[in-house]
A and B are shown apart, each in its own frame.
Chain A
Amino acid sequence: MKVSRLLLAAALIVSLGGIGFAQSFEFVGAGATFPAPLYTKMFDQYAKEFGVKVNYQAIGSGGGQAQIKGRTVDFGASDVVMTAKDLVDAPAEIVQVPMVAGAVVLVSNLPGNPQLRFTPDVVADIFLGKIKNWNDQRISSVNPDVKFPNLNITVVHRSDGSGTTGVFSDYLSKVSDEWKTKVGMGTSLNWPVGIGGKGNPGVAGLVKQLPGAFGYVELIYAIQNNIPYALLKNKSGNWIKASLQSTSTAANVPVPEDVTKLSTTNSDAPEGYPIASFTWLLLYKEQNYGNHQKDKCEALLKMIWWMTHDGQKYAEPLAYAVLPAPVVAKAESIIKSITFDGKPLFAGGM
């Protein structure tokens, strides 16, 4: 899948090479696989409109972070925000621009596949291995209409390192102190219980096959494959069904000065779905390094600007949630803060 997508992107880029443009730049990016279908679409469209080509390699968020630190790419991409700890060994200041939002949903395998509801503490305790059976009173009390069988819960998690696990464990760390101290947040974890499947298809496949299974997948994957998923009680006490709308809403909260501190998981938004997060582009705040040329760097910023504005219209058809207006404004100021020789490089606008 990934390979064919890359080949497609490469073929598109090559075929577009024939068309002449006054200024033709080519950028190299690498990182997260989650937004790769969208980025491919965006870059394809941008090449058609502006003649700027991008070679994006979906090597994973960890790879994206390593490549930008190693300065082997023009921009990196990551599903998890780089923390101060991750940024320590970077050669210069890296800025992070939010692109689109995604959500993680809970899927299960019970007879008749009823519509389930979960409270955060129940989700955490199932993944901690403390709630072991579907007939547990704590599950049935919030699902009065469902008759639960006497069936062991088999937790299914991702076996591969993934931003999805990062977002999910970030959420669990916020809603459960025990999770926070025992397991914590990361793209790969020391899971207390359960079995691992590779990728969203691996987890979904195991859940589908295993009676009593309980796992998590990306919202996009559940939508595209018609997998039913549970409602979740958010911080405001409302039962929320994950959707592109409720994902964007979750991110529509007062934006802190440092946008990377914006807490989208367990969001304060009353109608927001609680396991939502952004995916990010990473680039250097000072663009004059290596043999960078000013006009090329400007073209890069223009393209990123476009991705956070006009490019957003390609998000929803591909099942990604668009950036809410306050976050777009924040993304604008980040892009404008990027410099060349210490002077602002791009004033914004197309």
Chain B
Amino acid sequence: MDGDPEHGTRRMRTAQASDSAFRITLFFGGIVVSVLLIAILLSLVLSSRPALVANGFRFLTGSEWDPVTNSFHALPFVFGTLVTSLIALAIATVLSLALAVLMGEYFRAGMFASVMRTAVELLAGIPSIVYGFIGLFFLVPAIRVVQIVLGVPPFGVGILTSSILLAFMILPYSASIGREMLMLVPSDLKEAALSLGATRSETVWKVSLPYARSGIMGGVFLSLGRALGETMAVTMVIGNSNIITANLLSPGNTMASLIANEFSEAQGAVYLASLIEIALLLFIISTVINILGKVVINRMVEAV
């Protein structure tokens, strides 16, 4: 009554073949991504060579960007990029935690939950130029009112304006991931806490959030990547002044914004290469921040 042994082996052989084809496809995909990454790095280094030679190490320490005299330094843009991204991250983390808890703990299903979820997903899909316009027409006048009250020059545009706009742009990413992570918290754990007499908020603070911590932080770092590289919306509301200032209400500039602004009309080899060197620097900064993020997340996982 046994099945055809021949047939069984054949089936196994086909399964093995398709399995190895699958593995090769995956392997190929992985290779392509790694090669692409190395190729990007290489092409950035090669194309920025004239600038690396001409600008030297002072590129990183000086604060002047003067295309007329070919004097190129990156500090104001590095400063602007890091400051806007970090402030945006701080604002977005608070808001996205609240959103994630709301969606992942309090309203997990039903009408309100699906409306909220759709709204957040839609926020993620809005093109950045549209965010730029929203910033220009609503956020900038609002900030200007604040500046008039404070008696400072009412630019409206500036570092703080960009940071707030960036916060709203990256919010959907960290909120969605945070929600998914909270959904993954085993209900046994939460029920155990509740049965021990913990209130709902205590359960969120002491059980769910610590459990989902590393995942939530992962979402935050992912969104930081977006903030660092955001170009169009920032260009429209940052004021594009190449200065370093502690005054968050003053205009500034970021690396991505500088490249977008000046690349198409850059004349002369060193000028063009210096813009590419800015891109290389942005690439390196993003990579370093990503690696730092991984380290932080790993520490957290070990701590749990």
Contacts and interface: CB of A to CB of B under 8 A. Distances in A.
Interface of A: 59-63, 65-66, 86, 89, 152, 154, 159-163, 183-191, 194-198, 202, 205-206, 209-211
A159 B264 contact: no
Given A154-B153, A159-B235, A186-B68, A59 B242 contact: no
Contact of B265 (A161, A191, A194, A209): A161
Contacts of A206: 157
Interface stretch (B59-67, B186-194, B290-298): B59-67
B155 A187 contact: no
B68 A189 contact: yes
Nearest to A183: B68
Interface of B: 64-69, 71, 136, 140-141, 144, 153-157, 235-236, 239-242, 251, 253, 257, 260-269, 272
Given A154-B153, A191-B241, A205-B136, A196 B261 contact: yes
A189 B242 CA distance: 10
Given A161-B266, A186-B67, A187-B67, A195 B236 contact: no
Contacts of A185: 68
Contacts of A160: 260-262, 264-265
Contacts of B251: 195-196
A149 to B, nearest CB: 14
A63 B264 contact: yes
Contacts of B266: 62, 161, 188
Contacts of A187: 67, 265, 267
B231 to A, nearest CB: 11
A62 B263 CA distance: 9
Contact of A198 (B154, B236, B269): B236
With most chain A CB atoms within 10 A of its CB, the pick from B156, B264, B272 is B264
B262 A161 contact: yes
Contact of A197 (B66, B68, B240): B240
A163 B67 CA distance: 14
A30 to B, nearest CB: 11
Nearest to B69: A184
Contacts of A63: 264-265
Contacts of B153: 152, 154
Contacts of A202: 236
B241 A210 contact: no
A154 B152 CA distance: 12
A209 B272 CA distance: 33
Contacts of B69: 184, 190
A191 B240 CA distance: 10
Given A160-B265, A163-B265, A183-B68, 13 more contacts: A62-B266, A62-B272, A86-B268, A89-B269, A154-B153, A154-B155, A161-B263, A161-B265, A189-B66, A190-B71, A198-B261, A209-B156, A210-B154
B241 A188 contact: no
A174 to B, nearest CB: 15
B265 A210 contact: no
Contacts of B235: 159, 198
Nearest to A162: B265
Contacts of B242: 190-191
With most chain B CB atoms within 10 A of its CB, the pick from A160, A189, A195, A210 is A195
A222 to B, nearest CB: 20
B264 A60 contact: yes
B156 A196 contact: no
Contact of B154 (A184, A186, A205, A211): A211
Contact of B155 (A59, A61, A162, A210): A210
A194 B268 CA distance: 25
A152 B264 CA distance: 33
B140 A209 contact: yes
A86 B268 CA distance: 7
6 contacts: A62-B266, A66-B272, A190-B69, A190-B71, A190-B242, A194-B241
Contacts of B257: 159
Nearest to B258: A159
Contacts of B140: 209
A187 B272 CA distance: 13
Contacts of A184: 68-69
B232 to A, nearest CB: 9
Contact of A188 (B67, B71, B236): B67
